[in-house]
Amino acid sequence: MITLPSKIASFAAAQRDKAEKLRAQHGIEAQPWYRITNAADDEAEVMLYDEIGGWLGATADQFIADLKNVTAPRMRVRVNSPGGSVFEGIAIANALRSHPANVTVQVDGIAASIASVIAMSGDRVEMGPNTMMMIHDASGLCVGNAADMAEMSDLLNLISDNIADAYAARAGGTRAEWRARMKAETWYLPEDAVEAGLADEATTTPKSGTPVAEPDEDEPDMARAYDLTAYGYHGPRASKDEELALESHTLSEDIRSLVGEEVAAQLRAAVTPTAGDTTPTESAPGPEAPSDEPAEPQPEPEAPAAEPVDEWAALTARLIPDDTDDWSALVSHLIEPDTSSSAATA
């Protein structure tokens, strides 16, 4: 049999009176720390997302009054609370135990201190991913003489024993074993809580059996390579010889498009040395421009042409037909090479 301290009733009443006076003093209204929705549907949802009771929170009688309006056959209590008033929490836990609905407690964030005791009231306890549960000994404040302090010590030990019994009733074990864990302030991850017997399941994300959504077909392909040609990049830089060959090939393609294939072929044949031709040209040394068409053989010139002045003259000199009219006959001796002069300088 448990013998309660003589002042336990006045202690609980004093907590409420102090909370009401503080709220009145600071002009603060009691804030609800819970929400009940879908009360008439198949499953009601109860959210405990704040401190339990406390000086600035609502008391258990308000919660219980709203809980009576729940007529759904199933109830899901979602918890994310650091704890709060022990007596308010015990009253809430007992109200959930006595409710006719099947109660599933779902820890969304943390269920610490008296919030962990509320979690023990569920027919089933689920720990969400990365959630935690914490148990510890009860604590409180006392102002008075040595007798008051001793009485407060007895009260806190009694409250802690009572809480230990709640854990033992759910998970098994003895009061002493759970008091040892409470004195050490033990924290449980989802898997640890299941192993200790404080929870039934550590849920995963996504839920088992839920298909993973396929990506949107219009979603851009983030792995696609960048098109750097928009920034003037066309790959690794070619060697100097390759650049000259490319420029020559491009130039020949441009000339062919302007003058036609036939004339372009004649131009290439005009600048291609024939067999036995040892006459030096004025063009700069360098690799010959590649050509994708074979050069056509040309007849031997009747007379050596005048030395071209520039490259364009060299390209077009042999395209000009010989003039055989009278004027050409009259002046032809003026441009013939001087044999004696050539022999003297040979």
pLDDT tens-digit profile of 15-34?
656 666 766 777 766 555 56
Indicate where the chain has its CATH 3.90.226.10 domain(s): 8-202
Least confident of 16-25, 57-66, 197-206, 292-301: 292-301
pLDDT tens-digit profile of 283-319?
445 455 555 555 566 666 565 555 545 666 666 666 6
Q: Provide the b/e sequence for 33-54 (b: ≥16 CB within 10 Å).
A: bbebeebeeeebbbbbebbbbb
| pTM for the predicted model, two decimal places | 0.53
CB-based contact 171:181 (threshold 8 Å): no
Q: Which two tokens stand for residue 114?
A: 């008296």
What is the predicted pLDDT for the residue at 331?
Answer: 55
DSSP letter assigned to residue 8: H
- Domain 8-202, CATH among 3.40.50.300, 3.90.226.10, 3.40.50.970, 3.30.428.10: 3.90.226.10
Query: Exposure of 318 by Cβ count < 10 A (0-12 exposed, 13-18 middle, 19+ buried)?
Result: middle
Sign of CA dihedral 240, 243, 247, 248: positive
